[in-house]
Amino acid sequence: MELDKKQLDITIVKAKSGNQSAFSLLLDTFWLDVYNYQLKRTQNENDAEDITIRTFSKAFDKIAFYDDKYVFKTWLITISKNLHIDLLRKKNISISADTSEEQEKKAYLVADENPTPEDRIITEQNLAKLLRDIKQLKPKYQAVIQLRYFQELSYKEISEKMNEPMNNVKVTLLRAKKLLAAIIKKS
């Protein structure tokens, strides 16, 4: 999706005032640019996606400080580059206490919410289809959807449970919903 300069400026002003649909539009517009940039740097889809989520989280958190004399995409890429450098430094400084396997195992433990026998057949069919669609998502997206919509946790509770900043949770959930919508649209 491309925005012309005027549309982009209006969207940024709205985002600065906290408009969620403006954030969503910026995410849609620039996600692939930032993701592809990180994919070239990291050569790893998961790392690229994580850094991209952190990039948008930080950008949305600091959008009030964005100066429109700079190109917005360049601003995002700079944030992304700096986050990647910070992550590399942390990896070099700390002894690799890699819990990624443990975290992946936890992500696969997403509860299968089967409908009760009392539910009507149409509800069962719709829920079963939705669950199949959700299972096509990456585990971290499944987990955040599970926590938000099936366990009905708040952003703060999800943030604490996943040990992630609240802005990361919001961006991850937004991305998960968009990916799920695309899956549902296909089927």
Tens digit of each residue's pLDDT (9 = 90 or more) over 39-64: 999 998 888 988 999 899 899 889 98
User: Options 1.20.120.790, 1.10.10.10, 3.90.110.10, 3.30.470.20; which CATH number does 100-186 get?
Assistant: 1.10.10.10
Tokens 């449970």 locate to: 161
pLDDT in tens, 90-134: 777 654 445 556 655 655 555 545 544 444 465 556 667 778 888
pLDDT at 35 over 90: yes
Q: Which residues of 165-178 are buried (b: 16+ CB within 10 A; e: fewer)?
A: ebbbbbbbbbbbbe
Kindly tell me the sign of the dihedral angle through the C-alpha atoms of 172, 62, 40, 88.
Answer: negative
pTM over 0.75: no
Q: Domain residues of the chain, as ranges?
A: 5-93, 100-186
Residues 6 or more apart whose Cβ sits within 8 Å of residue 131 = 112, 113
DSSP state of 149: I
Residue among 100, 178, 176, 186 at smallest CA distance from 138: 176
Helix locations, the chain, DSSP H = 5-16, 20-42, 45-61, 72-93, 100-107, 121-134, 139-145, 155-162, 166-186
Q: Which residues of 11-20 are buried (b: 16+ CB within 10 A; e: fewer)?
A: bbebbeeeee
CATH fold of the domain at 5-93 = Rna Polymerase Sigma Factor; Chain: A (1.10.1740)
Phi and psi, residue 151, nearest 5° = -95, -10
pLDDT in tens, 64-88: 888 888 889 999 999 999 999 888 8
Residue among 15, 9, 11, 29 at smallest CA distance from 71: 9
User: Is the Cβ–Cβ distance between 73 and 33 less than 8 Å?
Assistant: yes
